[in-house]
Amino acid sequence: MNYLLENYDWDFFMFHILGIDRIQHELWHILDHKHHAHKEGDKRYRRRIVEYFQRVDQGLGEIVEKVGDDTVVMIMSDHGFGPIYKFMSFNVWLLKEGFLKLKRGPITLLKRAFYRAGMTPELGYKIAMKLGLGSVRVSKDLEERSRLFAFINRLLLSFNNVDWSRTIAYSKGNYGQIFINLRGREPFGIVEPGKEYEEAREEIIRRLKEIKDPDTGERIIGEIYRCEEIYHGKHLGEAPDISFLPKDMSYKALGTLAFMSKEFIRDSYGLSGDRRMKGILICSGRGIKRGKIEGANIVDLAPTILYIMGEKIPEDMDGKVLTGIFTEEHLRANPIEFTEGGGEQVGGFGCSPEDIEEIKARLRTLGYV
């Protein structure tokens, strides 16, 4: 970062510190003595985690000093963090509830027998960890992970074994996304658009609200949204038909592989920390006032950065300029200006069809597609 700052002309400079994310995903249980993965011997590592954050903080201070008061510095996280105590496999739930059906052929019957006996990706993961192969998991690049997932899908119960001619819904994604097997959109869709689609969606939402933790008897699911309540635009039809979050985000849905476990709810393993909905935003520099930032949303960053750079804001851009972070003098001297929206994507930004497919493959591996 220092090299680039000092040796290149720049108008906008952005960098990402990945370690902050990884250390909380992988090592939250060291900080959280209540976590079921916490061990007495973990205390000796706690100081090293604190030292890591102190070094990051020191480095940020050096950068703020280097760029000077004339430059606006924004520190942001795309999410917050907290512990994970339970994993949920929603395809397992949909299978038990009858919304998802499996094929009846001999291969699927054999895989299902293995699945019922506990032969799942969860078991393979735990065996690998006991063999000391945890470092292999975090060192694999996306392409290697994609090949590994493809091999697991061939070997164990997966979407390859779903009978789409009888399946109403399936889940894919790591936060609670359910897709209706809609005719005309899904390759083998059976649910008719309109009344049949709405009835299927409402029935799934009703049953989601009834889910309870078998250990506590408490209801798990909090916010539930129909796609049109949170998404808009020409790609709305590709969004999950139902999106939801647990009341307590120490419960996490797993969706990278279709049937991670034979149980719907399991104690978490591997990752001990995960995302929370509220992140961090800190700003300093020219025109920024002291105080607390109110009502900020992640989509507000792009228009705010454009404003700081003296650019006009496209009228159709999501988000707003965070005027509350600026002094009155700065806002008077630099009024917000807008320009006509509706810009078109030019040439796929130089991406070939092969590049696009590689990007999609990487996003699938991350559970985002």
Cα dihedral 198/204/210/211 (nearest 10): -160
User: Average of pLDDT values for 68-80?
Assistant: 94
In this predicted structure, the answer to whether residue 94 has a pLDDT above a threshold of 90 is yes
In this predicted structure, the answer to whether residue 348 has a pLDDT above a threshold of 70 is no
In this predicted structure, the answer to whether residue 143 has a pLDDT above a threshold of 70 is no
Give pairs for 130-135: CB < 8 Å, separation 24+.
134/270
Provide the residue ranges of all domains of the chain, joining segments of one domain with +.
86-270, 287-341
CB-based contact 156:121 (threshold 8 Å): yes
Tell me what pLDDT residue 343 has: 58
Tell me what pLDDT residue 41 has: 87
Tokens (6 digits) for 161: 């074994």
Look up the pTM and report it: 0.83
User: Average of pLDDT values for 300-307?
Assistant: 97
State phi, psi for 13 to the nearest 5 degrees: -125, 130
Please give the helix or strand (H or E) that residue 267 lies within, else none: strand 265-267
Amino acid symbol at 222: G
Q: Over the stretch 232-269, which tens digit does the pLDDT of each residue have?
A: 888 999 999 999 999 989 999 988 788 989 999 999 98
- Distance in angstroms (rounded) separating the CA atoms of residues 208 and 253: 13
Residue 286: pLDDT band (50, 70, 90) is very high
Tell me what pLDDT residue 24 has: 95
Tell me what pLDDT residue 231 has: 92
In this predicted structure, the answer to whether residue 346 has a pLDDT above a threshold of 60 is no
Tell me what pLDDT residue 127 has: 82
- Distance in angstroms (rounded) separating the CA atoms of residues 53 and 59: 10
The CA–CA distances, whole Å, from 55 to 18, 51, 52 equal 14, 6, 5
CB-based contact 283:305 (threshold 8 Å): no
User: Which among 171, 258, 260 has a CA at the least distance from the CA of 211?
Assistant: 171
Q: Over the stretch 178-201, which tens digit does the pLDDT of each residue have?
A: 999 999 999 999 999 999 999 999
Amino acid symbol at 292: K
User: Average of pLDDT values for 332-345?
Assistant: 83
Choice among 48-57, 124-133, 243-252, 338-347 with the minimum mean pLDDT: 338-347
Residue with tokens 């989509």: 299
In this predicted structure, the answer to whether residue 137 has a pLDDT above a threshold of 70 is no
- For residue 257, the number of C-alpha atoms closer than 13 Å in the C-beta half-sphere is 24
At a CB cut-off of 8 Å and minimum separation 6, what does 266 contact? 86, 87, 89, 122
